[in-house]
């Protein structure tokens, strides 16, 4: 080809390419223009903040009003909880209904759990002034991972996102989602993007020390606020072209409240969180939207004020409406998006089977025989929740999860009960102090060890040690006889040494020591969750000696042997100053020489207490009585009346009698909620009582007696507290202070169930 021909061919090719480009330019310009008009992907970032996080719901309500869709969500702590619900397809109205309807006293304060406990568990804890428990493991004495029992929190989260939990990848949720936690092992941020959604939210809000951490593989996960309380970078990595950040703002710290060691220690975590927040907020770019919600006096722990935070979030979002509206879409487009992502969390199915997994000590047969959900039942999220809460109230379980396997229409319900990591060897301790102006000063230091599930039927080895006004060393073997723990036997041996004052005509004349070596064999039956009956044989070698003072009752070393029968009923909502419920006890003792003793006597005693709520106050009514059944009751076995438990205005054990009856009523005004969510409160109370006594061992006047008292009492951070003054028609009066575990056991009213 000639040179000129090649030039003409090259020229034609250039002209063709240029013409092609010119022809295609309008289309290319049209595509570029369309991209510039496309909606940027919006990432929602929800900060942690405990109770303050309810404000996120208010922001979401305004975003829905403005038709701002969300393409992905990253949240920490309470932000992870709200964000997880929204990502699961729950609209803002549903979130508002959910958070406003939470019973925080039950969820965080575990109020109501006692009513779900088996009766034997109620009896074991009836006189404890605290619910703190330690464990004995190979590593030594250990404590729980958190001060707050989280079983109700776990159950709440599982119910909240019941349907979304079925998705293993958080990318497959209606809105892609990430929760932020802190790995306490490697001191790093963990972005949770798969697994059980409820577990991820729970890990993100596991405040160290308060809530137990969540273990996933080798990671020990706590609250994500320690490392990333406002996870802007996580949202950008997930999907976001722009981010909408909801920042929860507290007032600046008051220097006057940062002087003591405890105040500074409390402020330390706030400083750490604010530092990582500031780094993330500094990374915001033009086009990002920052919604600052000013929380006023609402703090992280004010869970009962969560509904009050929603209007604060709404107000803050409306103030930023112009910036938020930049990412709004037309109503038809928003409606289509909202319909596409909205998903119900309700589950309803007929069960093909029920199984239990993951138990090491607790026999699954026990849970099965006591369970209320069976194969063939039609269940929903509420039914599953109630059953999970009932099981989680058992002393060996920390929480109870579940999984639905197989056919969604007829699934297998697999329960996932988690045993306490610090079990099955448990330690509990208690302290009680009692003092009166007339010279009574006594204390009790008490410890109890229990080893549970020593065999497949749930045997327990129980050991008690107490020092103070009464020394006690006891050991027993509690053996259920069936899988449901309905029937049981309990052999027990004990040594006790009690020092008690004895009175004549209201005057303290002697102090006696009562020493007992005893063996007891009880058999019994549990009658549902509230009642128990026992019968047994007792052999007691007793030594009665005068310590100081005059001899009013004879010194002796008798052996008492015979049988006992007892019945207890307890439906109280709490172990001290109950707000509702009833307590009842009946006891009969029959001793005779033909059964191995050297004395013949018998006595019977009963007590009844009823708590009636009235507003935030309490009305408590009691009746009690005891009798020697017209027998010859030894003086050292007489009923001992006196003290705030049995008859205010009398000193502890001031009247020792062969028979008595008493009736009284107390009204307690709520004067101060110390911590409502934990059911801690102070009450101002007044009590009036009347009754009669018979066959006094000091040969004093028998007959009617009346009395009354005024007092301040309550459930406090240090346990039960009572300070009061009382008087009787016998010209006796007394003022007293009682802290913690009850001291004195002269009548049935001083048993733990009548506190």
Is 223 a known active-site residue?
A: yes
Helices (H), 125-186: 151-160
Contacts of 76 (CB under 8 A, 6+ apart): 46, 47, 48, 179, 180, 204, 223, 224, 225, 228, 229, 230, 231
Residues in the chain: 755
C-alpha–C-alpha distance, residues 749 and 641, integer Å: 10
Question: DSSP class of residue 94?
Answer: H
Cβ–Cβ under 8 Å, residues 725 and 733: yes
Question: Which regions of 701-747 does DSSP assign to beta strands (E)?
Answer: 703-716, 719-728, 733-740
Contacts of 151 (CB under 8 A, 6+ apart): 110, 389, 392, 393, 397, 398, 399, 400
In 3-state terms, what secondary structure has residue 445? strand
Q: Are 221 and 80 in contact (CB under 8 A)?
A: no
556 is catalytic: no
CA dihedral 96, 102, 104, 109 (to 10 degrees): -150
- Going through 261-411 in order, the beta strands assigned E by DSSP cover 289-294, 348-350, 353-356, 378-380, 397-405
Q: What is the sign, positive or negative, of the torsion defined by CA atoms of 203, 426, 575, 132?
A: negative
Residue 84 belongs to what H/E stretch? helix 78-87
Given the residues 154, 183, 223, 430, the one annotated as active site: 223
Contacts 24+ apart (CB under 8 A), 112-115: 112/573, 113/149, 113/152, 113/389, 113/393, 114/393, 114/572, 114/573, 114/574, 114/575, 115/529, 115/571, 115/573, 115/581
Q: Which among 71, 77, 666, 732 is annotated as catalytic?
A: 77
Alpha-carbon distance values, 669 to 179, 367, 394, 582, 583 (Å): 45, 41, 33, 19, 21
Q: Please, are residues 494 and 474 in contact by the beta-carbon 8 Å criterion?
A: yes
Residues noted as catalytic:
77, 223
């Amino acid at each position: 080809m000639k040179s000129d021909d090649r030039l003409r061919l090259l020229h034609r090719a250039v002209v063709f390419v240029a013409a092609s480009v010119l022809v295609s330019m309008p289309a290319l310009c049209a595509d570029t223009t369309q991209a510039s008009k496309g909606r940027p992907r919006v990432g929602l970032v929800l900060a942690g903040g405990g109770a303050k996080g309810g404000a996120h719901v208010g922001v979401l309500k305004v975003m829905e009003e403005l038709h701002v869709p969300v393409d992905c969500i990253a949240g920490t702590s309470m932000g992870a909880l709200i964000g997880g619900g929204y990502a699961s397809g729950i609209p803002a109205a549903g979130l508002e209904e959910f958070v406003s309807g939470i019973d925080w006293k039950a969820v965080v304060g575990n109020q109501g759990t006692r009513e779900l406990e088996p009766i034997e568990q109620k009896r074991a804890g009836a006189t404890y002034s605290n619910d703190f428990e330690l464990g004995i493991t190979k590593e030594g004495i250990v404590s729980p991972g958190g001060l707050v029992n989280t079983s109700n929190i776990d159950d709440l989260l599982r119910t909240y996102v019941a349907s979304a939990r079925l998705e293993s990848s958080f990318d497959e949720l209606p809105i892609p989602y990430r929760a932020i936690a802190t790995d306490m092992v490697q001191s790093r941020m963990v972005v949770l993007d798969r697994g059980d959604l409820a577990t991820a939210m729970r890990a993100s809000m596991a405040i160290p020390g308060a809530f137990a951490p969540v273990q996933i593989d080798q990671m020990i996960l706590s609250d994500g606020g320690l490392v990333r309380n406002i996870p802007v970078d996580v949202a950008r990595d997930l999907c976001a072209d722009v981010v909408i950040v909801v920042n929860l703002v507290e007032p600046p710290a008051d220097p006057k409240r940062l002087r003591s060691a405890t105040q500074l220690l409390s402020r330390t975590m706030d400083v750490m969180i604010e530092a990582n927040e500031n780094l993330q907020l500094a990374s915001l770019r033009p086009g990002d939207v920052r919604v600052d919600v000013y929380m006023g006096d609402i703090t992280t722990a004010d869970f009962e004020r969560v509904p009050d935070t929603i209007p604060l979030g709404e107000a803050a979002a409306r103030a930023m409406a112009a910036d938020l509206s930049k990412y709004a879409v037309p109503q038809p487009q928003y409606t289509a998006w909202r319909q596409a992502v909205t998903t119900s969390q309700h589950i309803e199915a007929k069960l093909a089977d029920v199984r239990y997994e993951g138990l090491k000590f607790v026999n699954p047969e026990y849970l099965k025989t006591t369970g209320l959900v069976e194969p063939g039942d039609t269940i929903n999220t509420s039914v599953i929740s109630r059953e999970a809460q009932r099981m989680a109230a058992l002393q060996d379980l920390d929480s109870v999860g579940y999984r639905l396997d197989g056919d969604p229409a007829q699934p297998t319900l697999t329960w996932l009960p988690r045993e306490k990591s610090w079990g099955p060897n448990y330690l509990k301790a208690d302290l009680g102090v009692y003092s009166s102006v007339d010279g009574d000063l006594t204390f009790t230091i008490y410890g109890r060890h229990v080893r549970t599930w020593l065999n497949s039927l749930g045997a327990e080895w129980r050991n008690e040690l107490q020092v103070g006004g009464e020394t006690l060393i006891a050991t027993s073997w509690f053996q259920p006889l069936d899988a449901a723990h309905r029937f049981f036997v309990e052999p027990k041996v004990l040594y006790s040494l009690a020092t008690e004052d004895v009175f004549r005509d209201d005057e303290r004349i002697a102090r006696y020591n009562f020493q007992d070596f005893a063996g007891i064999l009880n058999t019994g039956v549990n009658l549902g969750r509230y009642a128990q009956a026992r019968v047994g044989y007792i052999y007691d070698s007793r030594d009665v000696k005068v310590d100081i003072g005059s001899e009013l009752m004879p010194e002796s070393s008798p052996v008492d042997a015979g049988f006992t029968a007892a019945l207890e009923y307890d439906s109280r909502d709490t172990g001290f100053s109950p707000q509702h419920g009833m307590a009842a006890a009946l006891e009969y003792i029959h001793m005779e020489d033909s059964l191995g003793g050297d004395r013949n006597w018998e006595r019977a005693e009963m007590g009844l207490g009823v708590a009636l709520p009235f507003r935030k106050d309490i009305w408590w009514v009691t009746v009690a009585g005891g009798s020697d059944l017209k027998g010859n009751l030894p003086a050292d076995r007489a009923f001992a009346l006196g003290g705030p438990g049995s008859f205010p205005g009398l000193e502890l054990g001031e009247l020792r009698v062969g028979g008595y009856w008493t009736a009284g009523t107390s009204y307690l005004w709520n004067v101060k909620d110390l911590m409502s969510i934990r059911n801690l409160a102070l009450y101002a109370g007044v009590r009036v009582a009347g009754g009669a006594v018979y066959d006094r061992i000091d040969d004093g006047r028998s007959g009617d007696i009346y009395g009354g008292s005024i007092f301040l009492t309550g459930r406090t951070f240090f346990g039960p507290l009572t300070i009061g003054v009382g008087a009787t028609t016998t010209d006796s009066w007394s003022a007293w202070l009682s802290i913690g575990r009850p001291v004195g056991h002269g009548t049935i009213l001083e048993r733990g169930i009548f506190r």
